[in-house]
Structures are given as C-alpha cells and as structure tokens.
Amino acid sequence: MYWKSGLVVAAALYLGYFLSSKPDFAPPAIPEDEYFGEGQVHADDKALRKFEIKVSEEDIKDLKSRVKAGLNRHFKPLEDSRFHDGFNPDAMKQVAEYWLQHYDWKQHENYLNRFEHYKTEIEGVKIHYIRSTPVKSEYTTTIPILMVHGWPGSVWEFHKIIPMLSNPARYDLGKKFAFEVICPSLPGFGWSGTSSKKGLSYVATARIYAKLMQRLGFSSYYVQGGDWGSIVVTAMAALYPERVTGLHNNMPFVASPTFAQVMVKHIVASFFPSLILDTEDIGRLKPIKQYFLDLLQETGYYHMQATKPNTIGEQLYSSLNRFLK
C-alpha cells in the first residue's frame, strides 16, 4: 500500500504546483515554412488545379476480388468475445458482404463530384480540398469557413452540411448570409498527398491550412473541426488569432497544463474525494483505476499508429492507393 501513499503525496505536490502556476497562453514560436515533399526542397506549385474523382472499373473489380478473397479466409471469433479483442470477425464479414452486394462506388463518386474539387501544393504536399461558393448575388453577406475532418474520416463527413451552408435559401434558411465552404483533406487522408519527411504535426497542418486560406484570398475566416480536425483548427485559432474570426469544434481537447491539473485532481479525488468535489458530485467520479484500465484496453490502435504506423499503413495503402490518385 506504500505506492498508494506515495502517489497521493506526489499528486498533492503537483496539484499545488499547477494550481499556483500561471500558464502562458502566448502562441509558441514555430517555423514560418517547412518542406515535407520528396527529396531536396523546391518551390511549391501554387496553381489551384481542378480535380475529379475517377476510379476505373478495373480498380473497383480488383478491390472487390480482394474483399471476396478475405471472406473465403474468414475465421470465427471466440464465443462471446464481441469487440473485446478488436474488430469482431463476424461483424467484418457483414461489412464485407455489404461492400460486395450493395455498395455502389460509382453512385457515391458521382455524388462527390457534384462539388468542386481542387489540389494545390503547400510545403511540398499536395493538398486536396472542396470549395463550395455561394451565388453571391443571392445573399447579403458571404462568410468564409474552413471545415476540417478527423480520423478515420474524410471530407465525406460534410457532404450534407456543405449545401446547407453555401446555399441556405434552398433549405428555407434565409438569404441574409451564406458561407463559402472550404473542406480540405488532411495530409495523408483522402486525395491529399502524404509527407515524405518526419514532423508533419497538427501544428504544421494548421500552418499549411492557414497558407491555403491565404492562397484562396481569405484574410479572415471561421474554422470548424472534429476529432483531429478539432486539434488542427484550435491550433489555427491560437497561432493566427488575427485571421480566425471564430472557432467551433465538436470534440474539444484539454491541453497541458490544464490537462495536468485535471489529472492530478482526479487522482487526489479518487482517494480523498471531499477535498476536491462537492458532495453531490462524488458519486459521478469514475474510479481512477477503471480510467487507466480503459486507456490500456481501448487505445491499442492509437499506440500502434503513434509508434509503428507502417505496420498497418502498408496493408491499407497497397489495397486502396488506386482509389486515391
């Protein structure tokens, strides 16, 4: 039990430190420019090139043959394992059968091609984005907004909301204002290119997107994001407050040192709840032991992607890269 006492003492010390410290909210100093393309640094191709999603029938047949071959090698999960050991093979079989028998790629491809797609090169990486521009004569005000998807998503996340934002009158939402919507694919996602060098972090992505918006002629704009998109647009708001007019995200993250304060309070409250919590809130606190067990059991995917991404990346790339040219 000595480790518990030591943990409480350490937590109390850290709690005192973090509660007494004043976090510095000044934006960190970051490079104005980096290069993530192949080989030696060269000037970006700054042209805004129109892009159309077009996957050949041959590639679609090839993908279906791979899915079908996987069905033939299907194995049975342990009884009652559900999703405790990872994605359930029986559920995967149902997904594969849906892709083979019901999913119409061309229908969805044609739907996405109703939007205007572009590619441009920033810091050596080809960035794909959708741009939906309102008919300005129909609206009093046009407001630019950058919307960023998360993992494991894509710009498809926004296919319903884009028309509502850029043409609200069609949905009886008024003619006072409309949004000019920019939806980029994260680097390495969808039809955006990948980095050839280390260091393309969410901060670098925030800088790349700020350059994208500048290249498109926007000096100020709103930003919105979810999951990793939330982290990227939050960084944009912190790094470029003079450009970001407003921020909305649907997956807010708590950053250090605030996160450290929260964790220390959680640890202390697990042993001495009355020191931290009101009486009516004590029963709502998740036991710290269960919290860490959940992290260990449910974040294997995150650890794999953060430390050995090529292990799963090679399999996915060899199967799907034809679709993302």
**Would you kindly state where each structural domain of the chain is located, as residue ranges?**
2-23+257-285, 27-53+115-256, 57-78+86-112
Please classify residue 183 by burial: count the beta carbons closer than 10 Å to its beta carbon, then call 0-12 exposed, 13-18 middle and 19+ buried: buried
Beta carbons within 10 angstroms of residue 159's beta carbon: 16
**Token digits of residue 149:** 């998807």
**Token digits of residue 141:** 């005000």
Instruction: Name residues whose C-beta falls within 8 Å of residue 194's C-beta, 6 or more positions apart in sequence.
Output: 125, 187, 188
Give residue 162's Cα distance to chain centre. 18
pTM to 2 decimal places: 0.82
- Architecture in CATH of 27-53+115-256: 3-Layer(aba) Sandwich (3.40)
Question: According to the 3-state scheme, what is the secondary structure of the chain?
Answer: CHHHHHHHHHHHHHHHHHHHCCCCCCCCCCCCCCCCCCCCCCCCCCCCEEECCCCCHHHHHHHHHHHHHHHHCCCCCCCCCCCCCCCCHHHHHHHHHHHHHCCCHHHHHHHHCCCEEEEEEECCEEEEEEEECCCHHHCCEEEEEEEECCCCCCHHHHCCHHHHHHCHHHHCCCCCEEEEEEEECCCCCCCCCCCCCCCCCHHHHHHHHHHHHHHCCCCCEEEEECCHHHHHHHHHHHHCCCCEEEEEECCCCCCCCHHHHHHHHHHHHHHCHHHHCCHHHHHHCCCHHHHHHHHHHHCHHHHHHHHCHHHHHHHHHHHHHHHHC
Q: Comparing C-alpha atoms, which of 325, 151, 307, 124 is closest to residue 207?
A: 124
Per-residue pLDDT of the chain (325 residues; tens, 9 = 90+): 544 555 555 555 555 554 555 555 566 678 899 999 999 999 999 999 999 999 999 999 998 998 898 888 878 888 888 888 888 999 999 999 999 999 999 999 999 999 999 999 999 999 999 999 998 889 999 999 999 999 989 999 999 999 999 999 999 988 899 999 999 999 999 999 999 999 999 999 999 999 999 999 999 999 999 999 999 999 999 999 999 999 999 887 655 455 666 777 778 888 888 888 888 888 888 788 888 888 888 888 888 888 888 888 777 776 666 666 6
